[in-house]
Amino acid sequence: MGRLSTLFAPERVAVVGATDSEGSVGRAVTANLLDSYTGEIVAINPNKDTVLGLTCYDGFDAVDRPATIDVAVVVVPPTVAVDVIADAGEAGIENVVVITAGFGETGSDGAERERRLREVAREYDLNLVGPNSLGVMSTPVGLNATFGNEMASEGDISFMSQSGAFITAVLDWAAERDVGFKDIVSLGNKAVLDEGDFVAEWGDDPETDVILGYLEDINDGTKFVETAREVTQETPIVLVKSGRTDAGASAAASHTGAMAGSERAYEAGLDKAGTLRVESVQELFDYAQILSGQPLPDGDEIAIVTNAGGPGVMTTDAVGDSDLTLADFGDETFERLREEMPDEANIYNPVDIIGDAPAERFERALEIVLADDNVSMAAVVACPTAVLSFEDLAECVASAQERFGTPVAATLMGGKSVGAGAAVLGEAGIPNYFDPARAVGSLDALRRYREIQSTTYEEPTTFDVDRERAREILESAARRDSNRLGVEAMDLLDAYGIPTPQGSVVSSPTEAEAVAEDIGGDVVMKIVSPDILHKSDIGGVEVGVSVEDVRDTYEDLVVRARNYQQDATILGVQVQETIDLDSGVETILGVNRDPQFGPLVLFGLGGIFVEVLEDTTVRVAPVSESEASGMLDDIDSAPLLRGARGRDPVDEGALVETVQRLSQLVTDFPAIVELDINPLVATPDGVQAVDLRLTLDQEEL
Ligand code: ADP
Ligand code: MG
């Protein structure tokens, strides 16, 4: 067990601020502890002699052997809370649950108080929950150190929530169902302990089979990814992350910045962490139930057994929407079904054993399909009929499931006739739903978790690059006192082995002509100015310029830039080799930095309409080879890369390598805040970074 084991399994708990005044939080906490806690309760309050029958002490000093108090629950007013917590630290207490509110959530005084609270916690090395927490629960010792109105029943789910109110709602809901918990923690303001700490703790806890979380944000994304990735190998983590708005995105200076906002950072980060992210509270508990009740499937093929045509089709549709596939039965399965089922039955998946099926027919059909090696899981979908008892059916399903050890979900469609059957299924750990889509969704969660478990962590590749040269390029930009760099910094890509077309930035028509002659053939010319973000928008890009026209084009480009902005800083004009776009695909490769998760790499369909089409995918850097190639699979336009309409497929290997090289560049240089390579032209012969834009944070250099 981890460092927080005494927080959840204390032998002695103190309530600081214990009171019996009606309606107070202090009374609720004390009464909840008295209700079910198996250990010793120490009440502390200098203004009381006894509270609810407990002797009340003036302070920790007055208590016999205060250092043996495992947890201090703090419910005093905010003005004295920090001092009380320091006292607890001084007395040698390690775990503190701060229920008191009036900290960071309440303006500048509160923020200052929270800062002091952190300091005290650091000084005494406290495991501190909250402040502004509902409290903690742990069912094996009957610990209810909360001011909620319901104690959890025992089970193997541990649950953390950033909303205390949501915990009370969930417990009320769970009281009606077969959902039990091991530990529950209300995270509050997360001044000290946060989601990463609890994930680590429960990952080490043999009594926790599933970790659930309701989160509004993540304190330290990088730490969370590291911890969760390890824990999830043993224990599934299912999360609802609320707050999906993207306030930061509008200020971005790059396409990547605009598209890879905080919501996508969470998506990518939680994915990298190996968590199962769900959209709704219903899914949260659907997943929790099936993960704790059913074994993992050994594949993604599902068999459906039903007594009703319509619901069978609904289930099949749901399979189509999921990542599961309908199992193809082997010959023996067909033979047995043909032999044992009525002539009118449909023996093909979904198996329809027709409306007059009693429970025993369900059992036979289920046994036959579960015996098939091509079947990894099953959904039983039943509508009420005069010849079918749901309770009997539930017994049959439970016994077949147990015999085969294959995951099963049930859909007993109905209302009042479902109760007894659902209870039998619940007892056997088999989830039951009205809606077949939920049964399929839950089975799909098992598949997804199996996939997470079987992914082994892969170190990112380190390429041989010229880091010094890259640093010089960034520093010279910093000397120009410029945070925005464009194509004049193309050598940066070169230093990291990302191919760029031949070309250079010049500051006179004569030089431009010389470069064009050197390149040979028609060239592309672009205005180079930190004040012009999107060059083609102002006529700042000319494609197909012949050598004779280079001088005039140079002047034209400068005039257009001046017309756009009189005082624009013009660094010159880039003369660049023409890349054959007809045989290639314009992609975008970019980077944005997220405050929680660090650098994000974005890849997708590029060109000048990138934000209109928005076909992109995001990963948290550093990106490994398989993550990079996964990015290519992810986008909707993937077929374009793979040679749609008779074109030659692009060099995917070169693309995958370029994604990783860029990931290495931004990992090496925290000073790169945002970066776009748009377009990165992918052709059958490799890739070419045709355009570059980046923003620097000089202080990080
Ligand atoms: P911006 O994005 O600032 O408008 P780009 O350098 O990306 O400027 O150029 C805009 C478009 O011009 C590209 O998306 C591409 O279609 C075309 N283009 C730019 N450079 C080249 C080149 N060297 N060869 C062929 N086409 C180019
Ligand atoms: Mg561009």
Question: What are the start-end ranges of the E strands in 458-570?
Answer: 484-485, 503-506, 523-528, 541-545
Burial class (CB in 10 A: 0-12, 13-18, 19+), 184: buried
Cα 348 to averaged position of ligand 2 atoms, centre (Å)? 53
Cα 541 to averaged position of ligand 1 atoms, centre (Å)? 7
> Ligand 1 pocket test: which of 256, 488, 493, 524 has the largest number of ligand atoms within 8 Å of its C-beta?
524
Q: Closest-lying ligand to the alpha carbon of 678?
A: 2
Return the pLDDT at 327: 98
Cβ-based neighbours of 41, under 8 Å, separated by 6 or more: 12, 13, 14, 15, 30, 33, 34, 54
Q: Both tokens of residue 52?
A: 């609810």
> Ligand 1 pocket test: which of 254, 505, 536, 688 has the largest number of ligand atoms within 8 Å of its C-beta?
536
Query: Residue 265 CB: number of other CB atoms within 10 A?
Result: 25
Return the pLDDT at 245: 56
Return the pLDDT at 177: 79
Q: Both tokens of residue 504?
A: 């250079």
Residue nearest to atom 16 of ligand 1 (CA): 607
Return the pLDDT at 607: 87
> Ligand 1 pocket test: which of 531, 535, 690 has the largest number of ligand atoms within 8 Å of its C-beta?
690
221, 224, 226, 232 alpha-carbon torsion, rounded to 10°: -140
Cβ(113)–Cβ(119) below 8 Å = no
Helix (H, G, I), strand (E, B) or coil at 391: helix
Cα 679 to averaged position of ligand 1 atoms, centre (Å)? 7
Return the pLDDT at 250: 47
Rounded to whole angstroms, the Cα distance separating 144 from 70 reads: 14
Give the mean pLDDT per block of 10 residues along the chain (701 residues).
Answer: 87 98 96 98 97 97 96 97 97 97 92 97 97 98 96 96 93 86 97 97 96 93 95 96 59 72 89 93 92 96 96 96 97 97 97 96 97 98 96 97 97 92 94 96 98 90 97 89 89 97 96 96 96 92 97 97 94 96 94 93 91 92 96 95 89 98 97 96 96 92 84
Give residues (CB < 6 A) around ligand 1: 501, 524, 526, 534-536, 541, 543, 576, 578-579, 581, 586, 607-608, 678-679, 690-691
> Which residues are near ligand 2, the ion (C-beta closer than 5 Å)?
678, 691
Return the pLDDT at 248: 45
Cβ(485)–Cβ(693) below 8 Å = yes
Global pTM reads 0.91
